[in-house]
A and B are shown apart, each in its own frame.
Chain A
């Protein structure tokens, strides 16, 4: 897993992710997001949900992927800890996410949304990179 939390914002949290593959970039971004919402090391992968996202480009795909995960926590009333990208291109992805029913003691903080602040997904040499800010 490769992400780091950047801490220069008073009301948001920013993290940076990098991976050699798109699959890795999207899985690690989901893990980073989820680690801000809950104690992922204690959330068991008891149930799974299938997710499919379509977008116009890679940045929109990442934005929608993370936004979908935030909404799924509220709608399914679940925390998630394991993310498997089954298929991915720059415009769509199919994934299976695993977790369990929410237990309040496993919660960390409410993530309201992914924001546009310094939001960026790009390829640099042989690595995919993403800069993501969340409103919390």
Chain B
């Protein structure tokens, strides 16, 4: 399908709806020449599938980190009219509210450096991570339901975090309307032991140092005022609870698509009309997973703060360890857009509201970015990219790279690395990802979010 792409400007391409029979709207891609050259044809095909769904608002978007995904590409944004649009468990994906929390400190890298290994190893011990990582919390069924409904408010009421953390989280860390009765018992059983766990795969905890400040005024507003300042990035999601909710509703939405006579270009885009029981039940269950995930990240933030206190013998308040922002990048939300209520699916895409932080995770050995949202992002339904985006399958990465060798290289660069096994390091090798600079250069160039701060990893924890 790539041959149908037409360049609009340096950073934007269009796939006209005439390119393929059945497309209701154009699809557009943010990306520079390098990004477009390396795009997988199948990912573009998946984007054209999204453009075929009923009630979609023009255009279907893909961000420069796009790659082949489940049903639709990762790095996709699709908005639907409330009246005749759909909501899709397939489009939100299996890791509901996978996202990022960024915490600042007042430490400089020079102050951190002598304690780096010790700190990283203690964090690795204190933050449960790895496959089937066991949480430290023993929740009752009632408490789990409270988390699903109240999100980070539950965490703060129970001593994990502060009101300031709530304020600095997308949706204030709680989507209203979550309904635990729409969540299966299996999903709850999977989620109960896992609250406060990082998981594995591409999820990580990173100690970082600021390497560049591009927009001093905004950086200062976000709490970053010097290069070498230490930040902490936490990337994870809703664990088994979210995976099970997605699986449960995929089955329900497959049947719903048949029932409501929705033609699916791909069965994986299973969906239901927004105004249907199947649609709204999913929305209420998905919100429960969103709230769980926001809470998960805040609880781990609390343990990160405690770990810093142990190492530096100062309170986290003295270390000024404030949440810069917490953001989701796999989510469906009802948002007011140009005066109308619409449903926006962001799959591997981040909300980009004017002047708000947009957090972008790079690959393990490279860099991550703090961007700010812009008015120009109105055209992308106030959305931007979410990361570097995979360029190689996980399995191929495992076969191509040796985890121990990657660890040695990272450590020779002065980085501290902890992981449950070398395999996960191979799986997440920097070479398995696109070049973060090309991705960021594209969203910055397109103006849908602009560079504020670049951070580089100094301590890496992988599950």
A residues touching B (Cβ–Cβ < 8 Å)? Answer: 5, 7-13, 37-38, 67, 70-71, 73-75, 77-79, 102, 104-105, 107-110, 112-117, 135-136
Q: How far is the CA of A112 from the CA of B420 in the complex (A)?
A: 18
Across-interface contacts of B421 in A (CB, < 8 A): 105, 107-108
Known: A67-B247, A74-B190. A108 touches B399 (CB 8 A): no
Q: A42 to chain B: closest CB distance in Å? A: 11
Interface centre among B247, B420, B423 (most CB of A within 10 A): B247
Contact B94 A135 (CB under 8 A): yes
Contact A102 B132 (CB under 8 A): yes
Q: 30 A-B pairs, CB-CB below 8 angstroms?
A: A9-B393, A10-B67, A10-B68, A10-B390, A10-B391, A11-B67, A11-B69, A11-B74, A11-B390, A11-B394, A71-B189, A74-B132, A74-B189, A74-B190, A75-B186, A75-B240, A77-B193, A79-B132, A107-B131, A108-B131, A109-B423, A110-B200, A112-B94, A112-B243, A113-B246, A114-B247, A115-B268, A116-B267, A135-B70, A135-B93
Beyond A38-B131, A74-B132, A74-B240, 14 additional contacts (C-beta under 8 Å) are: A7-B399, A8-B393, A9-B68, A10-B69, A37-B131, A67-B247, A74-B239, A77-B193, A105-B420, A112-B95, A112-B246, A115-B70, A116-B268, A135-B93
Across-interface contacts of B424 in A (CB, < 8 A): 109
Q: How far is the CA of A13 from the CA of B399 in the complex (A)?
A: 13
B250 within 8 A of A: yes
Q: Which 4 A-B pairs have the closest CB atoms?
A: A107-B131, A104-B130, A74-B240, A74-B190
Name A113's contact: one of B133, B186, B243, B463 (CB within 8 Å): B243
Q: How far is the CA of A12 from the CA of B390 in the complex (A)?
A: 11
Q: B407 to chain A: closest CB distance in Å? A: 15
Contact B268 A110 (CB under 8 A): no
B395 within 8 A of A: yes
Interface centre among B199, B395, B423, B463 (most CB of A within 10 A): B395
Known: A11-B74, A38-B131. A109 touches B186 (CB 8 A): no
Within 8 A of A (CB), among B171-209: 186, 189-190, 193-194, 199-201
Known: A71-B240, A112-B243, A113-B246. A102 touches B74 (CB 8 A): no
Contact B193 A74 (CB under 8 A): yes
Known: A102-B134, A113-B243. A11 touches B189 (CB 8 A): no
Contact A113 B94 (CB under 8 A): yes
Contact A77 B240 (CB under 8 A): no
Contact A10 B393 (CB under 8 A): yes
Closest chain A residue, CB of each to CB of B68: A10
Contact B189 A75 (CB under 8 A): yes
Name A77's contact: one of B67, B132, B395, B420 (CB within 8 Å): B132
B278 within 8 A of A: no
Contact B399 A117 (CB under 8 A): no
Q: A74 to chain B: closest CB distance in Å? A: 4
Closest chain A residue, CB of each to CB of B244: A71
B26 within 8 A of A: no
Report the interface size class on chain B. 35 or more
Q: How far is the CA of A117 from the CA of B240 in the complex (A)?
A: 20
Q: A36 to chain B: closest CB distance in Å? A: 9
Contact B390 A71 (CB under 8 A): no
Contact B201 A109 (CB under 8 A): yes
Q: How far is the CA of A8 from the CA of B134 in the complex (A)?
A: 32
Within 8 A of A (CB), among B213-244: 239-240, 243-244
Q: How far is the CA of A73 from the CA of B199 in the complex (A)?
A: 13
B378 within 8 A of A: no
Contact B134 A110 (CB under 8 A): no
Contact A109 B268 (CB under 8 A): no
Q: How far is the CA of A38 from the CA of B421 in the complex (A)?
A: 11
Q: A40 to chain B: closest CB distance in Å? A: 12
Within 8 A of A (CB), among B113-154: 129-134
Closest chain A residue, CB of each to CB of B389: A10
B427 within 8 A of A: yes
Across-interface contacts of B395 in A (CB, < 8 A): 5, 7, 13
Q: How far is the CA of A136 from the CA of B94 in the complex (A)?
A: 9
Name A107's contact: one of B95, B200, B244 (CB within 8 Å): B200
B438 within 8 A of A: no
Across-interface contacts of B134 in A (CB, < 8 A): 77, 102
Contact B131 A116 (CB under 8 A): no
Q: B392 to chain A: closest CB distance in Å? A: 7
Q: How far is the CA of A107 from the CA of B134 in the complex (A)?
A: 12
Q: A10 to chain B: closest CB distance in Å? A: 5
Q: B234 to chain A: closest CB distance in Å? A: 16
Across-interface contacts of A13 in B (CB, < 8 A): 393-395
Q: How far is the CA of A62 from the CA of B212 in the complex (A)?
A: 51
B170 within 8 A of A: no
Within 8 A of A (CB), among B432-459: none
Contact A7 B396 (CB under 8 A): yes
Q: How far is the CA of A67 from the CA of B246 in the complex (A)?
A: 12
Within 8 A of A (CB), among B30-78: 40, 67-70, 74
Contact B133 A104 (CB under 8 A): yes
Closest chain B residue, CB of each to CB of A12: B70
Name A73's contact: one of B132, B247, B394 (CB within 8 Å): B132
Q: A80 to chain B: closest CB distance in Å? A: 11
Q: How far is the CA of A74 from the CA of B421 in the complex (A)?
A: 19
Q: How far is the CA of A115 from the CA of B268 in the complex (A)?
A: 8
